[in-house]
């Protein structure tokens, strides 16, 4: 029996995410305080119309090839729901090409929109959403926090992809420093070696385990816990301004990491405003790495993607 649509007008909000968090390469991730919003209307016709405001408004597709539309259609197919025409309005606030999970957010937005449209939303559970998103995206360290919120750990095995929310203490805040320049993920991936020294792998295992514990309420361990030898050093040359910003922050004792593939830089810690990391354009950051930077400071745990019927 085919799944029917129970709504024809839904609204979805999905957060930006930082993958890796330093040592947790392709495994750890965190939701950040910037979100895209997507409104979808199911139409009786077969047409697709898309309005885009904000990031990508002059470059993104406005047809079936748009990532949100592709993911929504894949999710409807997955549960056996009938396809419809769509009118979509996207308000894009997550910067593109800066290591903030914009493509994972688009995929998750489409799946969560489908969940809100169908009669039995449980057919697209959080677990199913992750499986579908990973099939599109292949970056569960971004998809998982976009779905679950907060901080997450994701892994793959013979059965597929899995994720768990991590314990995140109230005092842990994030500040993400976003440069004006972009870095395609493919470029950042291309410089990684096929093999790493055993001693570096052991180094990262210890730091990633320490980071999980630090996030649960030991902010004093965050600086040591965010050290990495698997990817950031190899990417230093392609990361450009991020390498300078990372060094400047860590020299000040702040737990800074490259956000995903960069070039944005994420800081984890308590009372970050006191360190000059409040939202806005911090004067001290101007010109670091020859760049202009803006900061987004988030105090509360960021929820995962949410869809509501209108």
Residue 138 is assigned to a ligand binding site: no
User: Is 178 in contact with 282 (CB distance < 8 Å)?
Assistant: no
| 220 falls within a domain | yes
Residue 58 is assigned to a ligand binding site: no
User: Is 176 in contact with 263 (CB distance < 8 Å)?
Assistant: no
Answer yes or no: do 87 and 69 share one domain: yes
User: Is 101 in contact with 146 (CB distance < 8 Å)?
Assistant: yes
Answer yes or no: do 155 and 189 share one domain: no
Q: Which range of residues forms the domain containing residue 217?
A: 173-298
pLDDT tens for each residue of 222-270: 999 999 999 999 988 888 899 999 999 999 999 999 999 889 999 999 9
Answer yes or no: do 179 and 283 share one domain: yes
| 1 falls within a domain | no
Count of structural domains within the chain: 2
pLDDT at 58: 94
pLDDT at 238: 85
User: Is 132 in contact with 110 (CB distance < 8 Å)?
Assistant: no
pLDDT tens for each residue of 41-55: 999 888 999 999 999
Residue 207 is assigned to a ligand binding site: no
Three-state DSSP class for 3? strand
| 3 falls within a domain | no
Which CATH number is 148's domain given? 3.30.230.10
The C-alpha R_g of the chain, in whole angstroms, comes to 19
Residue owning tokens 């987004």: 296
Q: Is the CA virtual torsion 133, 134, 136, 141 positive or negative?
A: positive
Answer yes or no: do 210 and 258 share one domain: yes
Residue 100 is assigned to a ligand binding site: yes
pLDDT at 1: 59
Residue 102 is assigned to a ligand binding site: yes
What is the tally of helices (H) and strands (E) in the chain?
9, 11
Which CATH number is 290's domain given? 3.30.70.890
| 246 falls within a domain | yes
Residue 96 is assigned to a ligand binding site: yes
Q: Residues of 124-154 as b/e, b for ≥16 C-beta within 10 angstroms?
A: bebebbbbbbbebbebbbbbbbbbbbbbbbb
Residue 105 is assigned to a ligand binding site: yes
Answer yes or no: do 224 and 275 share one domain: yes
Question: What does the block give as tokens for 53?
Answer: 């405001």
Residue 98 is assigned to a ligand binding site: yes
Answer yes or no: do 186 and 245 share one domain: yes
Residue 240 is assigned to a ligand binding site: no
Residue 206 is assigned to a ligand binding site: no
| 4 falls within a domain | no
* % the chain with pLDDT above 90: 89
User: How many CB atoms within 10 Å of residue 237?
Assistant: 9
| 253 falls within a domain | yes
Ranges in the chain, pLDDT < 70: 1, 183, 185, 188
Residue 97 is assigned to a ligand binding site: yes
109: CB partners within 8 A, 6+ apart: 12, 14, 36, 38, 68, 71, 305
User: Is 32 in contact with 297 (CB distance < 8 Å)?
Assistant: no
Answer yes or no: do 99 and 224 share one domain: no
pLDDT at 190: 82
């Amino acid at each position: 029996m085919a799944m029917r649509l129970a709504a024809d007008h839904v609204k979805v909000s999905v957060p930006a995410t930082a993958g890796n968090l330093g040592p947790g390469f392709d495994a750890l991730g965190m939701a950040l305080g910037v979100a895209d919003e997507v409104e979808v209307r199911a139409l009786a016709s077969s047409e697709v119309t898309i309005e885009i405001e904000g990031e990508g408004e002059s470059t993104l597709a406005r047809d079936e090839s748009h990532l949100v539309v592709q993911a929504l259609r894949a999710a409807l197919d997955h549960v056996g729901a009938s396809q419809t025409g769509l009118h979509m309005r996207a308000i894009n606030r997550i910067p593109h090409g800066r290591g903030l999970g914009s493509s994972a957010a688009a995929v998750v937005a489409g799946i969560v929109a489908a969940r809100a449209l169908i009669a039995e939303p449980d057919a697209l559970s959080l677990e199913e959403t992750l499986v579908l998103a990973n099939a599109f995206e292949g970056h569960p360290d971004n998809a998982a926090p976009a779905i679950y919120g907060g901080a997450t750990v994701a892994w793959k095995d013979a059965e597929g992809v899995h994720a768990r929310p991590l314990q995140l203490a109230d005092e842990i805040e994030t500040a993400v420093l976003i440069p004006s320049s972009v870095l395609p993920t493919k470029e950042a991936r291309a410089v990684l070696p096929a093999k790493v020294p055993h001693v570096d792998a052991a180094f990262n295992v210890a730091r990633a385990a320490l980071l999980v514990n630090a996030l649960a309420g030991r902010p004093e361990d965050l600086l040591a816990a965010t050290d990495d030898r698997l990817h950031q050093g190899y990417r230093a040359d392609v990361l450009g301004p991020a390498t300078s910003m990372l060094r400047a922050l860590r020299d000040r004792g702040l737990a800074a990491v490259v956000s995903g593939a960069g070039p944005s830089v994420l800081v984890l810690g308590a009372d970050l405003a006191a360190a000059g990391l409040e939202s806005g354009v911090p004067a001290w950051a101007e010109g670091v790495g020859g760049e202009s930077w803006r900061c987004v400071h988030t105090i509360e745990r960021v929820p995962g993607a949410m869809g509501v019927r209108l």
